Structure 1
Amino acid sequence: MPDLWMPGATRLDIGDHAATDGGPAKAIAHITWDKNATAAKPVDLVPYTALRSYFAGGGAGVAPHILWDPFEGHFTQFVPANSRSKSLVDQAGGTRTNRAGSVVLQIEALFFPYCRIGTKVYPQLVDTPCKGWADLQAWVHSWGVPNSWPMGRPVDFTSHRSESTWEKTAGWYGHSQIPENTHQDPGSWPAFVGTTTATPPVYEPFPGASFFTAGKKSPVIAAMHKRLVAEGCDAYQSSANSNVWGSGDKASYAKWQRKLGYTGTDANGIPGATSWSKLHVPNV
């Protein structure tokens, strides 16, 4: 059996252990984002010991499994790997986000954008030394979490969420990719050590409603076109320029929304996250 407690990490057991639900093994990437800073106004990094004390005390109700200091390579673990932690919002009646896997290992990196140490400013997590990442990756992988990002490795603070991908696919997820959550972190994350490629997601993540504007050209739209036709929701006048969003796409998607039971303004032909996830547009 893999180690319940990460080798080399300080063990600070806060109790309140609870089982996970089983399913695809997952790891969740967070940043602490405990200060708001900008390029014009950087802010000194909060001490690691302050965050460790917070998660062991008043912040125990939102504590992760691991607090990671990417500057010095320190780790503190608050609950064992086979327990859920509580860093994710978990709404009643939906997926139990903190438990939705054989493990759901939650990692909080001590970081916020434009944090400062001395005179050096760090805009992104990947700009830090990322000390200890190889050890952290290896421990997470030992619990069956593949070295892959099913919804893509985070590269900015944009949210992309697909509940169907989350439910079915093991791997690493950014907080910005978790159903029921609104956070946009981590913004970036170090590349896997010893790997050159990552397994792409099975289905195309929802690109956001603003993506679907007249004249938008993308292979994602062409893949959507094929899926709508396959689902019997073909309102296209022509198959030409199938990779460009137009009136035929809007009419066809409205048919798909109505097929799912939507009515009125909820069947306006503009994709939403839930209907998109059910369409299963293949990753391109």
Structure 2
Amino acid sequence: MPHPWMPQALKADVGDHAPCDPEFPARAIAHITADREADAEAPLDLVPFGNLQGFFTGGGKGRAPHILWDPFTGAFAQFFPATSRSKALSDTAGGTRTNRAGKVVIQIEALFFPHCRVDGKVFARLVDTPCQGWDALHAWVSSWDVPDVWPMGPPTSLSRRTCPDDEWRSRGGWYAHAHVPENDHVDPGSWPAFVSRPPGPLPDEPRFEPFPGASFFRAGRRSPVIAEMHGRLVAEDCDRYTSGTGIDVWGPGDVRSYTAWQRKLGFEGGSADGVPGRFSWDRLAVPGV
């Protein structure tokens, strides 16, 4: 049985679950957040992941997808289980039930807009980004029997091509927001290629260290968990350590390095204080000990 909640995603359940229509085939809908308007001459900084997560759990609940995906860091937040409809599509009463028409209708919002700027580099298309985490996302969507096909063709430009109602009802697979009936959007413009997988069952999900609580991280605390955290911070280019010894003991280098990680996730001010919280810890994916 596939997981209703993507194992790699932060569970940010907004409630208001409602069933899909299982008489229709399984499908996935590809969106981009498109939350800023930029162009090649005037690029803009990417909006922090935490801002969009806060929007979809706050004032934007009525527009929330299943998954918010950061293709630059591989971070995920999930707002509805796969077994529920989400709300990211226009869905006219008495129409094609766009948010529900499928065994599942898994909707993904990639944190991206054309000509966004990240660490000084500008990205014109989603496929130009690192697409971190796409393999895990694709595997999870596929576990819900969403076929690796684009009935309207893969998105290659920001243009509208509406799927006929009869085809929408009869063909499963991946659809761009630009393809969905009753909607007027042109996104996502591009999407990463499907990940080839060997035949047979999917491997077990990797086990990550659960958040031990903020009080765990006190000066002098010695633990293999801290050593594993150290390794992950270094791997994420958040190495602010001045010594390579005592990596299993919580100290000032850990605070500096964890602050760098929090800032990389988009936290600012007192929210980037170097003390792990559940959200940032889950995103760091510290291997289990």
What's the TM-score, normalizing by structure 2? 0.67
8 Å Cα contact 1:14/1:79 also seen in 2: yes
After TM superposition, list the pairs within 5 Å mapping 1:1-284 onto structure 2: 1-22=1-22, 23-162=24-163, 163-194=165-196
Distance 1:15 1:63 in 2: 11
| 2:167 match: secondary structure | helix
> For 1:150-174, what per-residue CA distance to the aligned partner results, in whole angstroms no more than 9, with x for missing partners?
1101000111112222111010000
8 Å Cα contact 1:71/1:130 also seen in 2: yes
Distance 1:169 1:59 in 2: 30
- Give aligned-pair identity as a percent: 61
Distance 1:118 1:41 in 2: 16
Structure 2: gaps spanning 5 or more residues: 198-289
> For 1:94-126, what per-residue CA distance to the aligned partner results, in whole angstroms no more than 9, with x for missing partners?
100000000000000000000001320000000
| 1:107 match: secondary structure | strand
Distance 1:164 1:115 in 2: 37
Letter in 1 for 2:56: F
Deviation at 1:91, TM superposition (A): 1.0
Letter in 1 for 2:96: T
| 1:67 match: secondary structure | strand
Distance 2:50 2:190 in 1: 23
> For 1:150-199, what per-residue CA distance to the aligned partner results, in whole angstroms no more than 9, with x for missing partners?
1101000111112222111010000000000000000000000117xxxx
What's the TM-score, normalizing by structure 1? 0.68
Distance 2:166 2:76 in 1: 32
Distance 1:27 1:118 in 2: 30
Distance 1:11 1:144 in 2: 22
| 2:185 match: secondary structure | coil
> Partner residue of 2:287?
none
| 2:141 match: secondary structure | helix
Letter in 2 for 1:149: W
Aligned length: 195
Runs of 4+ off more than 2 Å: none
Distance 1:26 1:76 in 2: 19
Letter in 1 for 2:47: V
Distance 1:161 1:44 in 2: 31
Deviation at 1:69, TM superposition (A): 0.2
| 2:187 match: secondary structure | coil
> For 1:16-47, what per-residue CA distance to the aligned partner results, in whole angstroms no more than 9, with x for missing partners?
00001121100000000000000000000000
8 Å Cα contact 1:66/1:108 also seen in 2: yes
Deviation at 1:85, TM superposition (A): 0.2
| 1:186 match: secondary structure | coil
Distance 1:125 1:58 in 2: 26
Distance 1:60 1:72 in 2: 24
8 Å Cα contact 1:151/1:165 also seen in 2: no
Structure 1: gaps spanning 5 or more residues: 196-284
Distance 2:132 2:2 in 1: 22
Letter in 2 for 1:145: V
| 1:30 match: secondary structure | strand
Of stretches 158-167 and 1-10 in structure 1, the one that deviates more from structure 2 is 158-167
